[in-house]
Amino acid sequence: MKIATWNINSVRLRLPIVEAYLQANQPDVLCLQETKTQDAHFPAAALAEAGWSHQAFRGEKSYNGVAILSRHPIEDSGYDLWAGKEDCRHIWARINGVTVHNFYIPAGGDVPDREENPKFGHKLDFLDELTAYFQSTPPQKSVLVGDLNIAPLAEDVWSTKQLRNVVSHTDIERNKLLNLIETGGWDDAIRRLSGPDTVLYSWWSYRARDWLASNRGRRLDHIWVSQDLSENAVKFHIETQARGWEKPSDHVPLELTLSV
């Protein structure tokens, strides 16, 4: 069971590369974030025609939005609201007995101070609620994916020294995410399979003139598995070349294969 995640930064604008990725990589499940479209305008028919006819999605105009596309029947689906907002940042679906959680955690703005920047406070509150939820309801036979907007380790950024006070790699964010993994019952499967010293990126800024030459990336996108599925996570792949496709997202797809 190959599960992929991709912040697509507008599914309607980038539908051609989504379809190209699906045909080339053949994931069983693709989770999208930042779909940026209301449900009535989600390209459900085109994606079903491509072969991913089982779908769950939640969208809003111009912002946020999450979706789960599957080649296999969705047995159940739903969502939760987090940090006191009704934005579309979470959806889950049960597929082949595995519960897949798809999250788009707030980016947090530019200033890493919740008093000066309410967006940063929203991000921290979101992480706290998520941690408390999984501490009280430990995940079983579950996968958590998404754009979590945090690169927790030095090996997840191009320069841990230069990004230390930059939102997505500050100590408070990193520590909260690592605590969520440890106390929430999760295994950072891609990091474990890659080894602790491997540099991994999933995002490169649009601001770079040549993203490949500068290679100033961050691993903001993640796939975790519940502890009972740790041994089932057998391989991963990061589709780095997608950052160079026509009209690309600034994120690329990540894939994890489970032997279930």
Residues 15-65: tens digit of each pLDDT: 999 999 999 999 999 999 999 999 999 999 999 999 999 999 999 999 999
Residue 59 pairs in a beta bridge with none
The per-residue pLDDT of the chain, averaged, comes to: 98
Compute the distance between CA of residue 106 and CA of residue 119 in angstroms, rounded to an integer: 8
Q: How many domains does the chain have?
A: 1
**Model pTM?**
0.98
Per-residue model confidence as pLDDT tens digits over 80-108: 999 999 999 999 999 999 999 999 999 99
Give the model's pLDDT for residue 195: 97
As a whole-number percent, the residues of the chain with pLDDT over 90 amount to: 100
Q: Is the pLDDT of residue 165 over 90?
A: yes
The boundaries of the domain holding residue 78 are 2-258
Compute the distance between CA of residue 144 and CA of residue 219 in angstroms, rounded to an integer: 15
Compute the distance between CA of residue 103 and CA of residue 130 in angstroms, rounded to an integer: 10
Residue 144 pairs in a beta bridge with 101, 224
Give the model's pLDDT for residue 260: 82
Let me know how many helices (H) and strands (E) the chain has, helices first: 6, 14
3-class DSSP state of 252:
coil
Report the run of H or E that residue 122 belongs to, with start and end: helix 118-136
Give the model's pLDDT for residue 23: 98
Q: Round to the nearest angstrom and report the end-to-end CA distance of the chain.
A: 6
Give the model's pLDDT for residue 199: 98
Contact (CB, 8 A) for 125 and 83 = yes
Compute the distance between CA of residue 152 and CA of residue 203 in angstroms, rounded to an integer: 14
Give the model's pLDDT for residue 183: 98
CATH of the domain at 187: 3.60.10.10
Mean pLDDT of 246-253: 98
Give the model's pLDDT for residue 71: 98
Q: Is the pLDDT of residue 245 over 90?
A: yes
Contact (CB, 8 A) for 211 and 226 = no
Detail the DSSP E strand segments found in 88-220: 90-95, 98-104, 142-147, 186-187, 203-204, 217-218
Q: What are phi and psi of 206, to 5 degrees?
A: -65, -20
Give the model's pLDDT for residue 171: 98
Q: Is the pLDDT of residue 76 over 90?
A: yes
